[in-house]
Every structure is written in structure tokens, then in C-alpha cells.
Amino acid sequence: MNSSVFVNLGPRSYTVRVGGGLLAQLGALAHETLPERSSCAVLTDSNVAPLYAQTALESLRAAGKKPVLITVPAGEASKSLLVAQDVLGEMARAGLDRKSFLVALGGGVIGDLGGFCAAIYQRGIPYVQVPTTVLSQVDSSVGGKTGVNLPDAKNMVGSFHQPVLVLADTDTLKSLHKREFNEGFAEIIKHAGIRDAAMYDAIDEVADGRGDLAELIRRNIAIKARIVEEDEFETKGLRALLNYGHTLGHAIEAAAGYGQLLHGEAISLGLRAASWLSVRLGGLSMDSHARMMQLLKKFELPLVLGAEFEREELLRIARMDKKFEKGRIRFVLLHAAGDAYVSPDVTEADLAAALDELTRQPA
């Protein structure tokens, strides 16, 4: 059974639909949302295209749309200014104009890249998110953060540009390899840690094969939606809570070389570091810390930093993070499970100590 989450942002509001069989409804739902627009680009990658592009194109054509398919190489390396330029060039050559729209069909890389291209093409056209991974369904497809990476800094170039519709077709998750499936649970566990400690039990049930995955995804989207509604442009400090585990996680991901560690794998390491610092500085109980670590282990997510990572290099990259302001870091900690806050008191020495902790096996 399909369900939905409404993201209430006034004139930028939209609905996130969750459930099976939604990809085949793409054309009808896109037409319902954008009845006056016919020409569109379907942006996807070389892994997703053979699986789902034809279904998307046929659905759009059946609804009277005129899609052009644009395929980029799979992987984090495609989330770059050079690839964005190639995509924009293909859109222009296809004759797309200000009355066109874009469909981002794929994981987080495609969603971020597609949203960014939609934000800047002809000074902005609408786009539809069709996320095909756990990670993109529960996190990156909702909230309007779009962008690409610089070589040393993740998401450094981008724009806020909300989608007009999100279709989280849970049937597409069946084609994921186990590693890709599992990485999405780093963000799910993060959401439980910052906003909904009771969700830990639901995560356990899904891990054990007893839970309702679609309902868990809907629950996570609702958490993200409520935070985005309260702080769409990250000016009030609340949306920053979604960065729990990301300061060091992004640094680790960049230092590894984009694509060597999956995003969720790097965030798992960042979550361990942030949870450890929360025990030291935020009052988080050791039991709560252990509970998060237990869930990350269940999904075979990494908790130990490899010897190839140099602490000083990770700190150098972390200093370029958007969460540093005037040389000070806004680091998200937990007082308790489900109770996150932004601390101005975390120092570089604390980050260095957390990185040292990551080199040790967890208790």
C-alpha cells in the first residue's frame, strides 16, 4: 500500500509518495503536477538506466510528455561541475527550454546533480525526484539541497531548489546490492538518533527481516520533512541537526577519494565519532552510544578508520566544511537519543581525539 508525506513549504510545497509500483505512474503523476509542461530530460546513470530508464520513458510518453534520456557514468565522480556542464549541454542540444522539466532517476548523486542542473538551467526549471536507493529515498531526495563536489570538499557548490514531486518506489530497492542497501541505514540510524529514539526498535525489526521497510522509509521522510519545514534554508540552526555525523564523515569520504567509501559508510564512521564526542561533551549515556553502534554493526557498516587515513589530512579537509564559520565549528551532538543540538564548544583537539578513537576497535 502506498503512502505519502506532504512537505509544507508554502508555494514550494510538494508531496513525497512512498510505496511499490510508483515508477510506472511517473508520467501520470508528473502530468498531474506539471500539466502545462511536456518536454523533459530524464537524468540517470549507467547502472540505473538499464534497469529503469525504459519504464520511466514509456510512462512519460504515455502521459503525453516528450522525454530525452541523459545518462552519466555511475559513481560519486559524476557529481562534479564538469559533468554538470555536460548534462546542461545535452539539455540545450535537445532543445529544452524554460517550460521544460527534469526527472532525476537514481541515487543521491543523480538527485543532487539533477537538482543542481534544474536549478541553474535557464535560471531554474522544475524537477521530479525518483530516488532508487535507500539513502536517497530517506535523505537526499527531500529538502531541496542540490549541488556538486569540489575535489576536496563535498557539496561545496550548490543551490536550494525544491523538487515539485518525489516518488520513492520501494520496488527499486530490490535491485540494490547488499552494500548499497545497507549504506542507507546510516542515515536512518542518524534520524533515529537526532529525532526519534523509538525508531531504533523498528530499525531492528527491518534488520531481522520482520519489519515494514516502506513504513520505515515513510517515517524517515517525515522526520526530514518536518525539520526542513522549520528551517528550509538552514538559517535557524535546526536543519543543521541533519548533519549529525557528517562533519568528519564527509572529510573521511573526501580523503578516501570519492567512490572508494560509499557515502553511508563514511557517515557510519562519522556517527561513531559524533556519538563518542556526545558521551564526552553532551551527556549522552554509554548505553545510548552502544545502541547506535549495535545498529550500525547489524548493517555491516564500518566503525574503524583504516590506517591509510592521516589525522592531519582529515582535519585539513574538515576545516573546509560548510559547517565551519569564521574558523569555528558548529558540531552536532546528542544530549540523549532523540535529542540533538548544535554545540559551539567542540574544538579541533576534540575532533583529533575522536579520529584517534576511530582507529580503535569499538568496545
pLDDT reported for residue 320 = 85
Q: Read off the pLDDT of residues 62-72 as tens digits, 9 standing for 90 and up.
A: 999 999 999 99
Cβ-based neighbour number of residue 56 at 10 Å: 25
Q: Domain count of the chain?
A: 2
- Reading the block at residue 357, the C-alpha cell is 578513537
Residues 154 and 259 in one domain: no
Residues 120 and 255 in one domain: no
* Confidence tier at 217 by pLDDT (50, 70, 90): very high
Residue 161 lies in a domain: yes
Question: How far is Cα 74 from Cα 167, in angstroms, rounded to an integer?
Answer: 21
Question: How far is Cα 93 from Cα 100, in angstroms, rounded to an integer?
Answer: 13
Residues 243 and 312 in one domain: yes
Q: Is pLDDT at 190 greater than 70 in this prediction?
A: yes
pTM for this entry? 0.96
- Reading the block at residue 13, the C-alpha cell is 510545497
Residue range(s) defining the domain that contains residue 297: 178-204+232-358
DSSP 361: P
Question: How far is Cα 270 from Cα 151, in angstroms, rounded to an integer?
Answer: 20
- Reading the block at residue 334, the C-alpha cell is 546528542
pLDDT reported for residue 327 = 62
In single-letter form, the type of residue at position 58 comes to E
* Confidence tier at 154 by pLDDT (50, 70, 90): confident
Distances (CA, A) of 361 to 61, 211, 272, 305, 306: 54, 30, 11, 9, 11
pLDDT reported for residue 329 = 85
pLDDT reported for residue 89 = 98
